[in-house]
Amino acid sequence: TQLLEQSPQFLSIQEGENLTVYCNSSSVFSSLQWYRQEPGEGPVLLVTVVTGGEVKKLKRLTFQFGDARKDSSLHITAAQTGDTGLYLCAGAQDMRFGAGTRLTVKP
C-alpha cells in the first residue's frame, strides 16, 4: 500500500485569498486523483493527473503532478465560500486516500 500524506490538515482563509494544499508520498504513483467532499456527502472526483510534471486547470483550481510522480499540489485562486470542504488525494490504482485537508473559506 502506498501511503499519502496531505498538508496542511486544516486551513481557514478569507474569501478572495489564494491557497495551496499538498499531497506527498515516498512512493511513485502511476496516477493520482483529487476529490472534494462536502459534509454529509461522499467524495466527488475533481481531477486525475497521470504524467509527471502535468498541470491541469479546472476553473480557479490548478493541479500539478510532481516530475517524479511522488507528489501533487492543488492551488486555488481567489477562494470562494463554495470551495469549503475536505480535499482528498488518492492513488488511482490502489484507491487509497490521504487524510485530507479541511478547507474553510470565510466570507
Which residues bind to other proteins, rule: CB under 8 A?
Answer: 6, 31, 33, 35, 40-45, 48, 86, 88, 90, 92-100, 102
Specify whether the CB–CB gap between 10 and 87 falls below 8 A: no
Residue 51 or 77 having the CB closest to other proteins: 51
59, 75 Cβ separation under 8 angstroms = no
Cβ nearer to other proteins, comparing 16 with 30: 30
The residue type of 4 is L
Q: Cβ of residue 51: shortest distance to other proteins, in angstroms? A: 16
Choice between 18 and 37, CB closer to other proteins:
37
The C-alpha cell at 62 is: 490548478
Cα first-last separation, the chain: 39
Q: Is 94 helix (H, G, I), strand (E, B) or coil?
A: coil
CB of 92 to other proteins, least distance (A): 5
Min CB(31)–other proteins separation in Å: 8
